[in-house]
Structure 1
């Protein structure tokens, strides 16, 4: 009986852990909402302050596995909520493990359509495993750059 109870406890703990992990993944809808919230913050605080906030203020700009980043139309990272070391670097040549130049695709979407989704593979910031990711890109009005938030698929 004690063995059965211990096994049931492990099984239930596994279900709870699995549920918690599933909730830790942001959705496409949450990513898009976060981009729009970031754009509202840019409008209110100004570019410089907002970009600093996106990089440093994890409590407000990192939710589950979602984070905000900002890139200009030349491929320079202006803010990054998951990796501050990327700020100031030109990442226009950045490609995923399949050779997809997704940074160029961000720029293409931001400069031609103004907003849209880009699919690519990227290392998850928590697990470090490469996973499929879809990122919502939206141009910053009156600025030569865009805000991005991606959800792992």
Structure 2
């Protein structure tokens, strides 16, 4: 018992620290709004370039921005820039959910999320539940998700 209490305390502190590393819904929405303002002020070309910089201003903790056009083409990707130019409309998660299609359709109706799906966390490389928040700005849908 004497060793169990320190072990459980250390485990609890570790889990709390890991949870604190994940972004929050409010932080994801703030990052989307920051990106939207930049898109409006600076235009698409400069915004896509900035968002696709994995060490840039549109990354916060484990939250990154992805911008799609209305047909599902990835215009910018904050974590994996090599995906830019691919059409993700029919991407499916581990449960066969077409989450990009859902995001784009809901954004077109003026909704902002969340859309829940499962995706690999970029830092742990493990499958996690994720909630994507989004906002349509002109011809583009700006997304940012939080891992749970």
Number of aligned residue pairs: 146
Q: Does 1:148 align with 2:143?
A: yes
Which structure 2 segments of 5+ residues have no match?
Answer: none
Q: Which has the higher helix share?
A: 1
Map of 1:65 onto structure 2: 62
| Offset from partner CA, 1:11-35 (integer Å, 9 cap, x none) | 7765654443222100111111111
Runs of 4+ in structure 1 over 3 Å off: 10-20
**Correspondences of 1:1-153 after superposition (within 5 Å):** 17-56=14-53, 58-140=55-137, 143-153=138-148
- TM-score when normalising by structure 1: 0.85
Which structure 1 segments of 5+ residues have no match?
Answer: none
- C-alpha separation in 2, matches of 1:85 and 1:57: 11
| Offset from partner CA, 1:110-153 (integer Å, 9 cap, x none) | 2122533211111111111111111111001xx22110000012
- TM-score when normalising by structure 2: 0.88
Q: Provide the aligned C-alpha RMSD in A.
A: 2.1
